[in-house]
A = this chain, B = another copy of it.
Amino acid sequence: MLVTKAVGIDDVATYVPRLYLDARDFAKERGIAPEKIAKGIGIEKMSIPDAHEDAATMAAMATLKLMQKNDLQPKDIGFIHVATETGLDEAKPISCYVQGMLEQIYGEGSFEHIGAPETKFACVGATYAMIDRLAFINSGWNKGRHAIVVATDIAKYDLHSSGESTQGAAAVALLLKENPRLMVYEPDSRGFGTRDDQDFFRPVGRTTAVVNGHHSIGCYLRDMRVAADAFRMSMLSSGLVTLSAGEGITDHVDRIAFHSPFPKMVEMAFASFLIHDWRGLPRWRRITRQTGPEPDRKSMADVEFYVSEPYREFRKRFTTTPEFKAEFEKKVKDSLEALKLIGNSYTASLWLCVDSSFEAKTNDLAGKRFAVGSYGSGSSAIVCSFIVQPDYRQVADGFSLMQDLSRRRKISVAEYEDLHEQRLDLHRGIEAPRNEFVLDRIGEKETDFGYRYYRFVK
């Protein structure tokens, strides 16, 4: 018989660039009504990387922070596993560039014993990587070493495109180990929902994504519904949860964080989640007395239904009910505080939401079930859960995302456009680097053409 160990997330370290673009400045410059961004999609500020930053420096910064605050040494680490859709090389993983940067601090060759792959699946990649690293530790194959999973991304769309207002950048490093202090992973609650779709992608050679925003919302909700069904089934069939009369599976979830391309998407996702879970329950009568009946699905496929006008209107009415509002306030709202100030950060977004939820300190989460709904275009969703540990505050009190966000420098739209179009020299960005890894130069010789050289600047 296989006995499962307690494995999970021990600590989290976040990194955001020191620059931000104010969404109001941006809206004004683009001739968009400011409330369309602030209220329509829920974004107030967007994180913008400086000229010397890229997905690898951000990943290295988050990893270094995680190492330092836990006083970890290279020998303690078995894996540095990066997930990104801002890959820098088709063959070399960012993880290995990160290793090189860390070895500038910890000594050349100090990480030679590690595994360092990169995982790709749009914004859901880090959740895939996390589950695989946890399974590896759970199997006892880690020889006592911890794993670091790093989500790092720069969300970038063409200037003047519709996606431009959902840009952002961040990295999050998760420390995974046995007997974690923050949250223990529940292996019996995992559900996937995966479809070959074309809502958002970035063919090799393009620096910005091709996106069909409207369709992508439908894909997100479809995959999340499939994953949530599998999550529910898994919890029930394993005996992890037993439903009392009138209960839905969401009654057994105390907190939930979702992938957030923009905060408003999370409201839609959570509403769809609840509608699907509550539909057959006694409370549904009370809900539909307020909202009117859920529209007839007819022969529509999932995506078609979820983006249809009648369903959207129904969902909007649902979000005005006291029942929805209470659930959202209690289980979701805190997770979005940081996101409003960052914008999209693809793989990192979900884990920023998790961090944000813990930074809010609005109530005691010890012993509570914390679920995550992770989505990646293309497309795939994962829903899974954790149990928050008794002494989690000791770790969570060290989270510094909100503090970091308060110390940034605002840039002008002109400065943002210079950075976006890579008009600034690596060494002549907006802010002089200090105490950080920088992209120092890019190779130009025949044998190093395009190779990236990094350096730590004190």
Q: Which residues in B have their C-beta under 8 angstroms from that of A141?
A: 131, 135, 138, 187, 190
Q: Is the CB of A114 within 8 A of B192?
A: yes
Q: Which residues in B have their C-beta under 8 angstroms from that of A125?
A: 117
Q: Is the CB of A96 within 8 A of B121?
A: yes
Show 12 residue pairs from A and B whose CB-CB distance is below 8 angstroms, ordered by the A residue: A85-B90, A86-B90, A88-B204, A91-B122, A99-B195, A109-B195, A112-B193, A116-B121, A117-B121, A135-B136, A198-B448, A203-B451
Task: Report the copy number of this chain in the oligomer.
Answer: 2
CB distance from A235 to the nearest CB of B (A): 12
The answer to whether A420 has its CB under 8 Å from any CB of chain B is no
The answer to whether A107 has its CB under 8 Å from any CB of chain B is no
Q: Is the CB of A210 within 8 A of B87?
A: no
Q: How far is the CA of A383 from the CA of B450 in the complex (A)?
A: 30
CB nearest neighbor in B for A196: B100
Please give me the 8 A-B residue pairs with the lowest Cβ-Cβ distance, nearest first: A100-B196, A203-B450, A92-B378, A132-B132, A85-B91, A117-B128, A90-B202, A135-B136
**Cβ contacts A212-232/B at 8 Å (1 or 0 each):** 100100000000001000100
CB distance from A66 to the nearest CB of B (A): 18
Q: Which of B87, B91, B135, B212 contacts A377 (CB 8 A)?
A: B91
Q: Quick one: which of A68-101 are within 8 Å of B by CB?
A: 85-93, 95-97, 99-101
Q: Which residues in B have their C-beta under 8 angstroms from that of A93?
A: 120-121, 378
Given contacts A115-B382, A210-B450, A234-B143, A87 and B122 within 8 Å (CB-CB): no
CB nearest neighbor in B for A450: B203
Number of interface residues, chain A, beta carbon within 8 A:
84
Given contacts A139-B187, A210-B448, A210-B449, A90 and B91 within 8 Å (CB-CB): no
CB nearest neighbor in B for A454: B196
Q: Is the CB of B90 within 8 A of A87?
A: yes
Q: Quick one: which of A120-153 are within 8 Å of B by CB?
A: 120-122, 125, 128-129, 131-133, 135-136, 138-141, 143
Q: Is the CB of B89 within 8 A of A204?
A: yes
The answer to whether A314 has its CB under 8 Å from any CB of chain B is no
Q: How far is the CA of A234 from the CA of B205 in the complex (A)?
A: 42
